[in-house]
Structure 1
């Protein structure tokens, strides 16, 4: 099972929300470093660093949408994209000229790169779809629980957030919505008031779960964590940013909130360009909320 499929299974999320999030990112952006499209900008933009042909970008984007929609496995996607890039002369190592500084830089497309592209984009898409589902359900499930994979690969900071339970509207989720870094496997789960009041989860592992074993009682952590910030200088802009410890630069945002913000901005832009009477009619009908 691929990491992306495993991620989707863990969330028990139908792909509609993820597909919608991917389709919303239909604005193709040629970039020469992953920092060129930063955090919330991914709400509308799709890019693959140093893939400097819009037709190839479009094909990669459309194929990921098809895969999340169930029409392609990750292996199918990788095979198709490898064939596409090979035919276009982009498979392997290629030299591209970065317009930011005029320097020629090397970029490599190989199976490892394709896996990273696929997993990052699908996980972010599922994260956006999951947030929308969480918001719809927050009247009956007003809390969220952070859950790690609890193995030796979990980052130290992420392990400290395991079983942390906070309200849906807590600002923590604006910056700590998984995935919180490259290949992060953390997830969140909605909780009802009754589950929160119980104060603990029952953890079962593998065969124990199948055998109906009682499992281990693990108390919730309901204390707001203190998250130190570290400086990160964006090498593309020189901007000094402050990133929470434990979050990879570029991941300190909530993809679902980013998508909602991007859609609102897009709608506002269209309304501003419309004939005044039509724009006002749309606002009166509540079409400017982007929901």
Structure 2
């Protein structure tokens, strides 16, 4: 079933709609015999479940591609800093994400903060990162105190949902074991 869902996500990444994903999801669930999942049995519940899966996979796929773009050596030569951008379109903004965006948090691209805080940082997070030449006057140029403390409740730093303390890009694109350059491990 997971392979069928992965194929449905890949199809969506190539331009498929959420409605196509929902059909592929229904086929995968039926084929695997998965039952008793949250949302099963009601149109609203199934729409919610498929929307969460679809949006989460699209956001992390986008983030992996964005990570690769932002790490282009030519771009890094002219824009070596990254700024955290909070999305104001979120109905219930996370206080930390909003604070990072409102403060203009701008750090070098190679700062360890980005390894755990490169968005999305949780379910429904629509934050992003922008490459910039340098911090603007008034921008925060250091992460907030305690940013790297791992909370027992979430096993993640403050402001990061459980299971989200990673940057999707380096998890998808990594250096080949023989040092021959970048490899896309998911293709």
Q: Aligned with 1:190: secondary structure?
A: strand
Q: Aligned with 2:125: secondary structure?
A: coil
Question: In the alignment, does 2:13 pair up with 1:68?
Answer: yes
Question: In the alignment, does 2:139 pair up with 1:232?
Answer: no
- The whole-number CA distance in structure 2 between the counterparts of 1:125 and 1:178 is 11
How big is the shift at 1:253?
1.0
Q: Aligned with 2:51: secondary structure?
A: helix
RMSD: 2.3
2:130 pairs, out of 189, 199, 202, with 189
Equivalences for residues 118-133 of structure 1 within 5 A: 118-133=54-69
- The whole-number CA distance in structure 2 between the counterparts of 1:86 and 1:223 is 50
Moved over 6 A (4+): none
Matched residue, 1:107: 37
Give the greater-gyration-radius structure (CA). 1
Question: In the alignment, does 2:14 pair up with 1:78?
Answer: no
How big is the shift at 1:81?
1.9
Matched residue, 1:14: none
Question: In the alignment, does 2:111 pair up with 1:170?
Answer: yes
Q: Which has the higher strand share?
A: 1
Equivalenced residues, count: 171
**Structure 2 unaligned spans of 5+:** 41-45
Q: Aligned with 1:107: secondary structure?
A: coil
- The whole-number CA distance in structure 1 between the counterparts of 2:52 and 2:160 is 17
Matched residue, 1:148: 86
Tell me: CA distance 1:57–1:230, structure 2 relative to 1, closer, same or farther (3 Å). closer
Deviations 1:69-102 (A, max 9, x none): 11x1112211332244346543xxx2xxxxxxxx
Matched residue, 1:260: 173
- The whole-number CA distance in structure 1 between the counterparts of 2:52 and 2:143 is 32
TM-score, length basis structure 2: 0.79
Matched residue, 2:43: none
TM-score, length basis structure 1: 0.53
Equivalences for residues 1-291 of structure 1 within 5 A: 56-70=1-15, 72-86=16-30, 89-90=33-34, 94=35, 106-108=36-38, 109=40, 110-136=46-72, 137-150=75-88, 153-162=92-101, 163-193=104-134, 196=135, 199=136, 219-228=138-147, 229-232=149-152, 241=155, 243-261=156-174, 264=175, 267-268=176-177, 283=178, 287=180, 289-291=181-183
Deviations 1:35-79 (A, max 9, x none): xxxxxxxxxxxxxxxxxxxxx222211121111111x11122113
CA contact under 8 A between 1:232 and 1:249: conserved in structure 2?
Answer: no
**Structure 1 unaligned spans of 5+:** 1-55, 95-105, 201-218, 235-240, 269-282
How big is the shift at 1:165?
0.9
